[in-house]
Amino acid sequence: MKILPLLILLIFAAGGCIQQIALNSLGSVLDTGFDVINREEDLTLAQASIASDLKLLETLIARDPGNAHYLLLASMGYSSYALGFAEDDSVERAKLFYARGRDFGFRILDAGDAFRTARGQGPQEFREALRSLSRDDVPAVFWTAVGWGNSVLLNLSDPAALADLPKIEAMMEFVVRNDSTYFYGGALSFLGAYHGSRPAMFGGDPRLAKNYFHRALGISGGKFLMTYILFAKTCAVQSQDRQLFESCLTAVDTASLDRLPEARLSNAIAKKKAMILRSKTDTLF
Amino acid sequence: MRRIILRTVLILFLLAPSSPLGAQEYIIKFATVAPEGSTWMNVMKEYDQAVRAESHGRIGFKIYPGGVQGDEKDVLQKIRLGQLQCAGVTGNGLTTIAPAARILDAPFLFRNYDEVDRVYATFDAEFERAFEENGYVNLGWAEVGFVYVFTNTRVEGPADMKNVRMWIWEGDPIAEAAIAALNVHDVVPLAITDVFTSLQTHLIDGVYASPLAMIALQWFSRTKYMLDVPLADAAGAVVISKKKFDQLPADLQEILRRNGKIYLGKLTRLSREENRKSLDALKKNGVIIVEPKNSKDLAEYEQLGKQARQTLAGKLFTADLLNRVEQEIARLRPGSGAGRK
């Protein structure tokens, strides 16, 4: 009669395994799904697909809360969604989604005690704590910093948020030190925007910013168009360099979406942003 | 006949206003170092919307945020050349365009905002004349807030200041007098753009700023201590060239002035709140707030401040104005018989 409880146990265990297998395969379907979406050029279709994938991803995370891979996809997905589909229409929605991107990223990095503790300390302690991370942490550090950084930039009236900027800068510098090519030189572009969007009295440095942008453009061979958008929006506007502004936007307008098929969606979003920026030229200069 | 009607319709169409509010007759080009998205800019946009609405679109600001038109010195130069007409200015700019108003920045003058508000209210007309004598109209005060000393060595009483290599904003007579009063032996005059790097390289180990400015300029990431004694209350204002202002019809002048007081008053209230929040953020980020050791030290700071203010009398502001301002503040202090506001 002992066979019965054993059988029940086995069925449950098998059920758990099956569930885990199902979760894993859903995860790999999502991986492929994100690759497929990144190749999409129709923004409406992409927006709807990402939204549903993100909710599915959150369901998977609810079942497997410590899964760093899912958490990274969610961090990446929410920040990308904010950048591509929210920030031009609603700052409030963009704030919400960037914050989610940041928080999913924190859940990965907080697994290390040093990072978790240093988040509540000063910028110098935080910079020290980043030394405990390795090249393998580059994706999590990058996407967490993207969510965190953009969340701060949309909350400039909050001094507590503003005080986090040196920590975010340190994270992007970590990415540049460990793998500057990650995500088409994304950390270089971020640092370019960071140094290029502030006046000199607030620590801005247009020469340094241009250098970062040129390095990022060198990595993608000028094929990742979002770099041009950031270059125009920050460095060109801050230095009131209308010629640079125009040349960046023209580079985006004239590039074919097929030049970088694996980033067709990002490039289609860049084209949309170029149109929006161009319509604001008279206000910006 | 049909052709005449068509032509008339076309002419009427061409002459019609481009917006239901009518064409904008006056554009005021305004520049500030405050970045897009900051409270400063948010309130400035509200001010712009209010004057546009009340004037039915006849007047509005074209706003250049984030220092894209340069620092205060550059912007005032552009106003003189007629390229801009309006700007947000602080101490540096005020020295040029309303030196008497710099009494508001005088060292250890105020202990709290009650005293600040009383002096602004009592002497407003006098300061207004100071602006106008130099070709500007003050549309409203936009206070930067109380400024504190931040150091890398612990400072409690005035005696500890002697060991600090202190930055002063080069060319600022008020800062020179304030720091000299503190008996700092090692003073390093630098442009504001060199301060962060100089903190990193230990060329300096002391600065002064409002808590919010410490965060915005990121100097807090290179300093350890804040002495909890307000060095001064830094003033700020939104000013317009008098030449431009005088060209405006009286009703538009009134709209600009009245809304300026409303929105820049709001900005001052929000700045005070942000400075309070900034203190919390500084503490969270490891900056240690140091109380003065005892009331004797506090009294000594105030005495040093009084001496420093005397050295400035006759330069930026008159001894008479200084005397009247100090008397007005004294009335609010315990023991004066006048009580607190």
Nearest CA in chain B to A158: B274
- State pLDDT tens for residues B109-149: 999 999 999 999 999 999 999 999 999 999 999 999 999 99
Is the pLDDT confidence value at B12 over 70?
A: no
Which residue type does B43 have? V
Q: Residue B68: which of A121, A203, A237 has the nearest Cβ?
A: A237
In the prediction, which pLDDT does B213 show?
94
Residues 6 or more apart whose CB falls under 8 angstroms from that of B4 comprise none
ipTM given for this complex: 0.83
Among A153, A163, A199, beta carbon nearest to B66: A199
A200–B71 C-beta distance less than 8 A: yes
Q: Which of B35, B69, B220 sits opposite A156 (nearest CB)?
A: B35
pLDDT at residue number A11: 53
What pLDDT is attached to residue A32?
76
Minimum distance, in Å, between the CA of residue B277 and any CA atom of chain A: 6
Chain A residue with the nearest C-alpha to that of B217:
A202
Q: Chain A window 30-69: which residues touch B at a Cβ cutoff of 8 Å?
A: none
B87 interface with A at CB cutoff 8 Å: no
Q: Given this model, what pLDDT does residue A16 score?
A: 54
Question: Is the separation of the CB atoms in A228 and A220 below 8 Å?
Answer: no
The rounded mean pLDDT for chain B is 90
Considering only B159-168, B233-242, B268-277, which range has the smallest mean pLDDT?
Answer: B159-168
**Per-residue pLDDT, A24:** 65
Kindly state the percentage of chain B with pLDDT values over 90: 73
Task: Note the pLDDT of residue B288.
Answer: 96
The Cα-based distances of A159 to A120, B159, B225 in angstroms read: 15, 32, 18
Chain A touched by B98 (CB under 8 Å): no
Q: Is A203 on the interface with B (CB under 8 A)?
A: yes
- Report which of residues A213 and B184 the model is more confident about: A213
| pLDDT values of chain A reduced to their tens digit, one per residue, 285 residues | 455 555 555 555 555 555 565 566 666 777 777 788 889 999 999 999 899 889 999 999 999 999 999 999 999 999 999 999 999 999 999 999 999 999 999 999 999 889 999 999 999 999 999 999 999 999 999 999 999 999 999 999 999 999 999 999 999 999 999 999 999 999 999 999 999 998 888 889 999 999 999 999 999 999 999 999 999 999 999 999 999 999 999 999 999 999 999 999 999 999 999 999 999 999 899
H or E element: which one contains B73?
helix B72-80
Among B144, B214, B267, B285, pick the best mutation site for testing chain A contact (most A Cβ within 10 A): B285
Cross-chain residue pair B281–A203, CB shorter than 8 Å: no
**Is the CB of residue A153 less than 8 Å away from at least one CB of chain B?**
yes
* Cα A225 from chain centroid (whole Å): 15
Region of B57 (left: φ > 0; alpha: ψ -120 to 50; beta: rest) is: left
Look up residue A173 and give its two tokens: 């510098």
Cross-strand partners of B226:
B150, B289
DSSP code per residue over A76-103: HHHHHHIIIIITTT-HHHHHHHHHHHHH
Tell me whether B211 touches chain A (CB under 8 Å): yes
B287 Cβ under 8 Å from any chain A Cβ: yes
Are the beta carbons of B287 and A122 separated by less than 8 Å?
yes
What ranges make up the beta strands (E) of chain B? Answer: 26-31, 59-64, 86-90, 136-141, 145-151, 165-169, 186-190, 206-209, 225-234, 236-241, 288-290
Q: Which residue of B has its CA nearest to A241?
A: B68
Nearest to A159 among B70, B71, B278 (CB): B278
* H or E element in which residue B181 lies: helix B173-181
Q: Decide: B239 and B87 in contact? Cβ < 8 Å.
A: yes
Is there a contact between B221 and A197 if contact means CB atoms under 8 Å apart?
no
Predicted pLDDT of residue B341: 37
| A123 → chain B, closest CA residue | B221
Q: Starting at the edge strand that comes first in sequence, how are the strands of the sheet with B26-31 ordered? A: B59-64, B26-31, B86-90, B236-241, B136-141
Q: Which residue of B has its CA nearest to A163?
A: B215
Instruction: Note whether A238 contacts B68, CB cutoff 8 Å.
Output: yes
In this complex, is the C-beta atom of B193 within 8 Å of any C-beta atom belonging to chain A? yes
How much is the pTM?
0.85
CB–CB contact B66 A238 (8 Å): yes
CB-CB under 8 Å, B216 with A162 = yes
For residue B26, the cross-strand partners are: B59
Q: Which two tokens stand for residue B62?
A: 């074209």
In angstroms, the CA B142 to CA B236 distance is 5
Q: Is A123 on the interface with B (CB under 8 A)?
A: yes
Q: What is the pLDDT of residue A10?
A: 52
Residue B193 to residue A201, Cβ atoms within 8 A = yes
Q: What are phi and psi of B188, to 5 degrees?
A: -120, 105
